[in-house]
Amino acid sequence: MAKYDYDLFVIGAGSGGVSASRRAAVFGAKAIICEEYRVGGTCVIRGCVPKKLFTYAAHYAEDFEDAVGFGWQEAHPGFDWPTLIANKDAEIDRLNGIYIKMLNNAGVDLIEDRGVLIDPHTVEVGGKTVTAETILVATGARPFQPDFPGVEHTITSNEAFHLEELPQRAVVVGGGYIAVEFAGIFNGLGSQVTQLYRGEQILRGFDDDVRGMLAEEIGKKGIDLRVESQVERIEKSDGQLEVTISGGETISADIVMYATGRNPNTDGVGLTEAGVELDEKGAIKVDQYSKTSVANIYAVGDVTNRMNLTPVAINEGRAFAETLYANQPRSVDYANIPHAVFSNPSVGVSGLSEARARQQYDAVDIYKSRFRPMKHTLTGRDEQTLMKLIVDVATDRVVGVHMVGPDAAEIVQGMGIALTCGATKAQFDATIGIHPSAAEEFVTMREKVADIEAVAVE
C-alpha cells in the first residue's frame, strides 16, 4: 500500500504549477493540483494575456491617424468598451478550458478549491485531506495597495479588466511595468490619463536611457506623467473621485488604479505552520532547485519573488519536475532573460543595464542609436526609437541589449538568444542586417558613446 495518496501535490494552477505538474506526470509521477479561482493563473486570467489584448486595442487610434499619411481617407470610427471586454472574456474562457484539458490529458487530477498545508505532507482541500510525498507551492502574487485615507475607492489591475465602462479620466499610481502599460492602454483608448509615481523616474531598475526615453515618449502621447508625486488621500464626491497629491493639488478622476507592486500569496496557505521559511517580504525562501527549508516542499513562480515573469515560472516548474522525477538535476539561469514592457512605445531588454554593467565589469563600451522609425516619415508623428548595446571591453561580449520602440519585444527576443550564446560585438558587426528594418540597427552601430563616469544603481 502506498504511503501517500500522491507523489506530488501542487497548490496553485498558474503557469508554474501547471508546467510542473504536467511534466511530473509525463515522467511517471502521480500528480494532483488545486486552484481556488480559475486554472491559468495571473498571466492567463488577469495578467499578461488580457493586458496584451488591451494593448492591441489601444494602438488602433494611432493606426487610424497614421493611415492618412499613406493615402487612406481620414476615419473616426467609434470604440465600444463592452465589446472589448466581452471578446476578452471569451478568449480567457477558451484558454481556461485549454489549461484544464492539458491537465486532464497529462493525467493530472484537478481540484478547483483552495489548498492549505496541514503538515509537510498533508493538504486540506475541498473539505478533505490529501497526502503527498512532495508538495509544490505555486500560489503566485497579488496586487499591493498601501493604506491611506480613501484607499477603498481605488482599483488594481484585477478590477481594471472588468470595468463596466471606459473611464473618461483615469489616475494610474505607480511607475513599474504594470502602471506604465495601463496608463498607455487607457490613454490609447481615449481616456485622459494622469500617472503618478513617487520616485524620480519610471521603470526603476531598467537602464536609465530607457527610463528617460519612455517618459519622454509617453508624454508626447498625452499622458500627464508626474514623478516624485504621491497620493495623500482620495475622497468621493458627486460621483467622482477627488485625488489630493503631495503639494496639495487635487485631481478629479473616474477611477484611480494602483499598480504599486505585488505581494507573494503566502497568507493562509499554512506555510509557517508546516515549517517553511519566508523572507522579509513574505516570499518563500528557496535554493537553486526551488527547495524550501522543508525537505519535501518546493516553490516556484511569483510566490518566491525571484524573477516574476511567466516564462520564468514555467521554466522553474519544468526544472523542478526534471530534477525530481527524471533524474536530470537542473536549475534556472536567470542571466540575460529577455523581458518586455508593453507600453506605447514598447520596451525590450536582455542582459544588464549600463549602471549594473559598470558595477560588474572593469570597463564597458556603450553603443546607442536614436532615430525616427521609417513608418513615421509619412505619418509625421514625432516618435523616436532607442537602441542600445552594452559591451564588456575585456571580452567584447555584448552584456546588455535595450530597445524602446515598436516591436521591441519581438526584436529583443532574438537578441536574448545571442546573449545566451555569449555573442561578441564583433559577431554582431559581422551579421548582415535586414533592410529596411529597425532591427538592423543592432548590427550596424559602430560609433561608441563617449565614456562617462560610472552611474550608481538606484
Containing 183, the helix (H) or strand (E) segment is helix 177-189
- 421 inside domain: yes
Q: Mark whether 212 and 103 lie in a shared domain.
A: no
Residue 94 grid coordinates: 477558451
Same domain, 133 and 44: yes
Backbone angles phi, psi at 67, to 5 degrees: -60, -30
Q: Active-site residue 59, yes or no?
A: no
Query: According to the model, what pLDDT value does residue 239 have?
Result: 87
Select from 325, 327, 332 the least CA-distant residue to 106.
Answer: 325
In a domain, 12, yes or no: yes
Same domain, 181 and 314: no
Residue 452 lies in a domain: no
Q: Taking Cα atoms as reference points, which of 178, 111, 110 lies closest to residue 141?
A: 178
Q: Are residues 254 and 303 located together in one domain of the fold?
A: no
Q: What is the pLDDT along the chain (458 residues), one digit of tens a residue?
A: 679 999 999 999 999 999 999 999 999 999 999 999 899 988 888 899 999 999 999 999 999 999 999 999 998 899 999 999 999 999 999 999 999 999 999 999 999 999 999 999 999 998 999 999 999 999 999 999 999 999 999 999 999 999 999 999 999 999 999 999 999 999 999 999 999 999 999 999 999 999 999 999 999 999 999 999 999 999 999 889 999 999 899 999 999 999 999 999 999 999 999 999 999 999 999 999 999 999 999 999 999 999 999 999 999 999 999 999 999 999 999 999 999 999 999 999 999 999 999 999 999 999 999 999 999 999 999 999 999 999 999 999 999 999 999 999 999 999 999 999 999 999 999 999 999 999 999 999 999 997 654 443 33
Residues 6+ apart with CB under 8 A from 457: 353, 355, 356, 359
Contact indicator for 45, 37 with CB cutoff of 8 Å: yes
* DSSP letters for 97-117: HHHHHHHHHHT-EEE-S-EEE
Nearest-angstrom CA–CA distance, 299 and 313? 10
CB within 8 Å of 43: residues ≥ 6 apart: 14, 15, 49, 310
Q: Encode burial over 4-30: b for 16+ CB neighbours within 10 A, e otherwise.
A: bbbbbbbbbbbbbbbbbbbbbbebebb
The Cα–Cα gap between 100 and 95 comes to 9
| Per-residue pLDDT at 296 | 97
Q: Is residue 67 domain-resident?
A: yes
168: containing domain: 151-260
Amino acid at 265: N
Query: Domain check: are 138 and 268 in the same one?
Result: yes
Residue 86, classified by CB atoms within 10 Å of its CB into exposed (0-12), middle (13-18) or buried (19+), is exposed
Q: Is the peptide bond before 120 cis (omega within 30 degrees of 0)?
A: no
Class of residue 342 by CB neighbours under 10 A (exposed 0-12, middle 13-18, buried 19+): buried
Give 264's DSSP letter.
E
Last residue of a domain, one of 271, 296, 325: 325
What pLDDT does 1 receive? Answer: 61
Q: 331 lies in a domain? A: no
In a domain, 332, yes or no: no
Q: Where residue 245 sits, what CATH number does that domain have?
A: 3.50.50.60
CA-closest candidate to residue 161, choices 96, 34, 291, 255? 255
| Residues 31, 123 within the same domain | yes
pLDDT for residue 2:
78
Does 174 share its domain with 318?
A: no
Asked if 428 and 443 touch (Cβ cutoff 8 Å), the reply is yes
Provide the number of structural domains found in the chain.
Answer: 3
CA angle 298, 304, 305 (to 5 degrees): 165
Please tell me the distance from the alpha carbon of residue 28 to that of residue 24, in angstroms, as a whole number. 7
Domain-located, residue 318: yes
271 within some domain: yes
Both 101 and 137 in one domain: the answer is yes
Q: 56: closest CA among 346, 320, 292? A: 346
Residues 179 and 279 in one domain: no
Does residue 253 share a domain with residue 269?
Answer: no
Residue 118: strand, helix, or coil: strand
pLDDT confidence of residue 458? 39
Per annotation, catalytic residue among 76, 153, 376, 435: 435
Last residue of a domain, one of 260, 279, 297: 260
